[in-house]
Structure 1
């Protein structure tokens, strides 16, 4: 199947961009007649066969969306956000008479093989991708093969906001950590630490930036002090506990840590366990664990994310940027603001004030 001509092959043969080929296939009136004739000649010469799936999706005829079912995580916490997104997406898709097909894949390469299998068999009309990352090969494959898709997460590593090839919906992690850090500072804490993920991590770097910029603006601490207050680790409760101990050791010279903002609820739970609840901790994702244990966390509005994904798939864009004249004024992305859920954490056995 790899020898079949692609949109990129047609574009190179006709001396035009991939977007121009897409416009000829989907909105020919947008293209000048001489350019359109050149592209059509290249299509005929190469024997390129465009997928009918994207057009079926836009007209909502027998439309099916494919999305990978993420593997179960070891701590059962970090994966819950994608489970909740999947539930919201399926529920809203059903209301639009769209179907969601789940598939599994162990890594991006296997996911790409699933893309090809499902698109070749006309089983799926468009794809929704999650967990985007720097150098993500999945989006490039979908673009090259003319597939309609939207990502939950920005196309990290490129011009995130304006890249013409990517449609995406994301939650503003910078804003979420800005809110979390500002809240902790408002309680009287000054040395607010941060536990996050190793860089480069598009999502993690974005959240760390929210913490760092807020601390620079409001804490009065210098760059060297702030460097001591940030620890990077893999995601997970045990990693969070170890990171918290390292953070306290590094911050000892500063007088200790007053509070901690974390990139996930898994890390926050680990920090709480390591400190026995001695200092305030704020997590991210507002998972059921955060609610049941009772610590503050940033909540992602997944209903809004799902609505944005479906809007980009079935609206003017049809899963492709500028796929019609009416899409020109509609940005190919949705950046959703999260909200901080504040709770008063009490360690197990603590007595509430009378």
Structure 2
């Protein structure tokens, strides 16, 4: 097995001293641009990576991001945060950072865990997920000057554009709006929406996308649109029951847009796959059964979170910068993935209950 390159190897390759290489890695402003470019070229040529443990001892920083491991959910769409975590871990590793997972029973317990990890110098900054209305975690982090970024924008509080609150998010309004317009452009007017109960920031945002598209392009009255608005918990059985209740009431339904793939599967079961359905999250289940769905760009979201915390090329957590002109948030547009239902799905739709 070949030996890993060292700082001395980089120095020989670039024709500079070991100290100069160290300066380029740790204090690049001290090095002339031309020399820095030679060292960086040697680093790239040798595929050199700084020794993380030595770097932590030298800088007295943990080079570690903390993120809460969310409880396991039964919903099909529960894999979304797992995919985000995987993307974040891979990209953090490429920047010489580690990701530390921790658990918490509720937001208050999460704050206690964050405080403990911060006081012990185990973690330099945090990534928060699953933001919600009046989220107490962000206020605590700002008050205690702890670097953080949230996957999910602020909901119901005044710091949407606060430069101290770094956030990345996916534009759920656009995702559901595009899905609804897809049906409307095909001449389908009675497009129902199956979403979560109100007072969920993410859910309310997605519902607005459907409603705005329907009021603008369906030709239906606001009252008629309201009758197509269904609510259910993120559960296949609950979603299926909500759709069946609408159909049993004699309401016309030509297509259904859903807040998640979990609810979309419930809608497909309720309609026996005879009504086109679009889900949200583009889970492996959606791909397997040929379900059209809205895909969140999780790799880009993870990259954006790290860019906000470290800067585009940074390797140390700096958090917010009051002098920065760079926007302190990133909002990404999802993409509609249109599929044809698989043969097994269609066969299921032809069976009797």
**Secondary structure of 2:148 counterpart:** strand
Q: What is the CA distance between 1:173 and its match in structure 2?
A: 0.3
Alpha-carbon distance between aligned partners in 1 of 2:243 and 2:159, rounded to the nearest angstrom = 32
1:131-142 map, 5 Å: 131-142=130-141
Instruction: Return the index of the structure with the highest Cα Rg.
Output: 2
Gap regions ≥5 residues in structure 2:
1-55, 348-353
Counterpart contact for 1:169–1:334, Cα < 8 Å? yes
Matched, 1:188 2:184: no
1:306-321 map, 5 Å: 306-315=302-311, 318=317, 320-321=319-320
Structure 2 equivalent of residue 242 of structure 1: 241
Alpha-carbon distance between aligned partners in 1 of 2:92 and 2:248, rounded to the nearest angstrom = 49
Structure 2 equivalent of residue 24 of structure 1: none
Q: What is the CA distance between 1:319 and its match in structure 2?
A: 5.4
Matched, 1:167 2:166: yes
**Secondary structure of 2:247 counterpart:** helix
Alpha-carbon distance between aligned partners in 2 of 1:350 and 1:205, rounded to the nearest angstrom = 31
Could you list the structure 1 runs, at least 4 aligned residues long, displaced by more than 4 angstroms after superposition. 316-319
Matched, 1:73 2:73: yes
Gap regions ≥5 residues in structure 1:
1-55
Counterpart contact for 1:130–1:153, Cα < 8 Å? yes
Counterpart contact for 1:263–1:284, Cα < 8 Å? yes
Structure 2 equivalent of residue 49 of structure 1: none
Alpha-carbon distance between aligned partners in 1 of 2:234 and 2:331, rounded to the nearest angstrom = 24
**Aligned in 2, Cα 1:96/1:137: closer, same or farther, shift over 3 Å?**
same
Q: What is the CA distance between 1:320 and its match in structure 2?
A: 3.7
Deviations 1:51-105 (CA, angstroms, capped at 9, x unpaired) = xxxxx9xx89541000011111124x12100000000000000000011000111
**Aligned in 2, Cα 1:275/1:202: closer, same or farther, shift over 3 Å?**
same
**Secondary structure of 1:79 counterpart:** helix
Alpha-carbon distance between aligned partners in 1 of 2:213 and 2:65, rounded to the nearest angstrom = 39
**Aligned in 2, Cα 1:107/1:347: closer, same or farther, shift over 3 Å?**
farther
Q: What is the CA distance between 1:247 and its match in structure 2?
A: 2.8
Structure 2 equivalent of residue 291 of structure 1: 287
TM-score by length of 1: 0.77
Q: What is the CA distance between 1:124 and its match in structure 2?
A: 0.6
Deviations 1:291-311 (CA, angstroms, capped at 9, x unpaired) = 011110000000000000000
Structure 1 equivalent of residue 115 of structure 2: 116
Alpha-carbon distance between aligned partners in 2 of 1:196 and 1:165, rounded to the nearest angstrom = 32
Counterpart contact for 1:296–1:341, Cα < 8 Å? yes
- What is the number of residues matched between the two proteins? 287
Counterpart contact for 1:277–1:346, Cα < 8 Å? no
Structure 2 equivalent of residue 225 of structure 1: 224
Q: What is the CA distance between 1:130 and its match in structure 2?
A: 0.3
Deviates more, 1:99-108 or 1:159-168: 159-168
Alpha-carbon distance between aligned partners in 2 of 1:236 and 1:151, rounded to the nearest angstrom = 26
Deviations 1:161-197 (CA, angstroms, capped at 9, x unpaired) = 4233311000000100111001112233110000111
**Aligned in 2, Cα 1:206/1:119: closer, same or farther, shift over 3 Å?**
same
Alpha-carbon distance between aligned partners in 2 of 1:210 and 1:87, rounded to the nearest angstrom = 29
Matched, 1:153 2:152: yes
Structure 2 equivalent of residue 269 of structure 1: 265
**RMSD of aligned residue pairs (Cα, Å):** 2.0
TM-score by length of 2: 0.77
Q: What is the CA distance between 1:270 and its match in structure 2?
A: 0.7
**Aligned in 2, Cα 1:292/1:309: closer, same or farther, shift over 3 Å?**
same
**Aligned in 2, Cα 1:298/1:89: closer, same or farther, shift over 3 Å?**
same
Counterpart contact for 1:170–1:335, Cα < 8 Å? yes
**Aligned in 2, Cα 1:60/1:307: closer, same or farther, shift over 3 Å?**
farther
